[in-house]
Structure 1
């Protein structure tokens, strides 16, 4: 009797271990059965994310476009400063020469052929001012056609008229430079906004992970269209005054 009891006591721990193992197996089986069907392990962040790759590539190109647009705007801004300085110089010259020629000339009978000489002087003076870009081609044409110009005036009287024309030409050049600077600024701002949008969308795409091909094409097209148009649309740089 004592031997049977000892044998039973030695078998109790082994049976307990077997029952514990069986219970663990059943618990695991129940947990697996409770999982929803079709669930897969999500991919690692950024793995195979073609949308993010394409957006980052587009952002790199957009950064180059934005840099060019900013350089063009800075050049246009410099042109504004230069044309304004040229206008101020022309305005000072016109006032100075106008003050020195304020007194009328003594009237006298003109020599034979003097009107021809005066006309030649006007043509030579206007041509030289046009060559130095102080007068426009249109103004020079008006001089030769005598539209708004009196070729019979004395050269002393012609000088303030010429300087006023130079001042008007320089002011027109300044206004055109201002318009180009404003257009360059708008283009630079649009390029910078496109770059910011692409970078933000690329970061969001990395966090979201891979998307369907249709969703990838839609998101990419929305951002790439603006970046591509910025890259292909040149901005006219201001010409020298």
Structure 2
């Protein structure tokens, strides 16, 4: 037997003092748990008296139930917040998917238009091109025609902006010596290839966006279902609490507290 226990058994005065102090400080503990409880001190004292009369085992069981309800309520709140955020994210991913789908449609139409222009130009090329002498003046005129044709195609989105620099430098297959009709055929061919590549990239991007949107929606649905289950469990545990005890969640922060009413 330790010294404290020996003293309490042999000298009852310290034990009585200790018990009195414990009883007197218990209302302060309840006040810290719920300031609203002090609005009705009489009801608080009556509730306190009822719990002081509870057997030790029964009181411990209720305390454990309260702690379990606290944990379940806090978990339900955290899952609800996560589900709300996942729903917002799923909405944004769905918008990206819709944008990617629109880009596929636009890229497909642009490729069809470019292919139609190319077919028309190829049909005209069957008749050949008129012959003209390769003089410096003729070469300068063809060079200006090529630069203008490439710049116009780039402005219309048929060619990338880098094609203009390549044409000005005479690289990447751009040949100013060709006849203007042949140059048009080269420009339309390059434009059709570029727009086809853009369409294929748009299809890949749309598939990736669809996959991400589907995954985000599944995650959101799963979290929402988990939120419902957690909220139901927390509500069930709160119904088992005493009538004068409840579990509340602060709206400004995720902290959860047990309060007396």
TM (norm. structure 2) is 0.61
Matched, 1:39 2:64: no
Structure 2 Cα separation of the partners of residues 67 and 207 of structure 1? 26
Where does structure 1 lack aligned partners over 5 or more consecutive residues? Answer: 1-32, 212-241
Match of 1:109 among 119, 122, 133: 133
Q: Deviations over 1:47-73 (max 9, x none)?
A: 771110121122112111111111110
Q: CA deviation at 1:183?
A: 2.1
Q: CA deviation at 1:163?
A: 0.6
TM (norm. structure 1) is 0.65
Structure 2 Cα separation of the partners of residues 112 and 184 of structure 1? 53
Q: CA deviation at 1:117?
A: 0.8
Return closer, same or farther for 1:73/1:158 CA change in 2, 3 Å cut-off.
same
The match for 2:123 is 99
Structure 2 Cα separation of the partners of residues 109 and 132 of structure 1? 32
Match of 2:210 among 169, 185, 198: 185
Structure 1 Cα separation of the partners of residues 132 and 217 of structure 2? 68
Where does structure 2 lack aligned partners over 5 or more consecutive residues? Answer: 1-54, 238-261
Contact kept in structure 2, 1:119 and 1:152, CA below 8 Å = yes
Match of 1:84 among 96, 104, 108: 108
Range 74-83 or range 53-62, more displaced: 53-62
Q: What is the root-mean-square deviation in Å for CA atoms of aligned residues?
A: 2.9
Return closer, same or farther for 1:206/1:153 CA change in 2, 3 Å cut-off.
same
Alignment of 1:135-174 (within 5 A): 135-147=159-171, 148-174=173-199
Q: Deviations over 1:133-190 (max 9, x none)?
A: 1111222222222221221111112111111111011112112211221221122122
Q: CA deviation at 1:38?
A: 4.7
Alignment of 1:122-141 (within 5 A): 122-141=146-165
Alignment of 1:195-214 (within 5 A): 195-209=220-234
Structure 2 Cα separation of the partners of residues 182 and 204 of structure 1? 33
Q: CA deviation at 1:201?
A: 1.9
Return closer, same or farther for 1:153/1:179 CA change in 2, 3 Å cut-off.
same
The match for 1:237 is none
More contact order relative to length (CA 8 Å, sep ≥ 6): 1
Return closer, same or farther for 1:76/1:138 CA change in 2, 3 Å cut-off.
same
Q: CA deviation at 1:208?
A: 3.4
Aligned length: 179
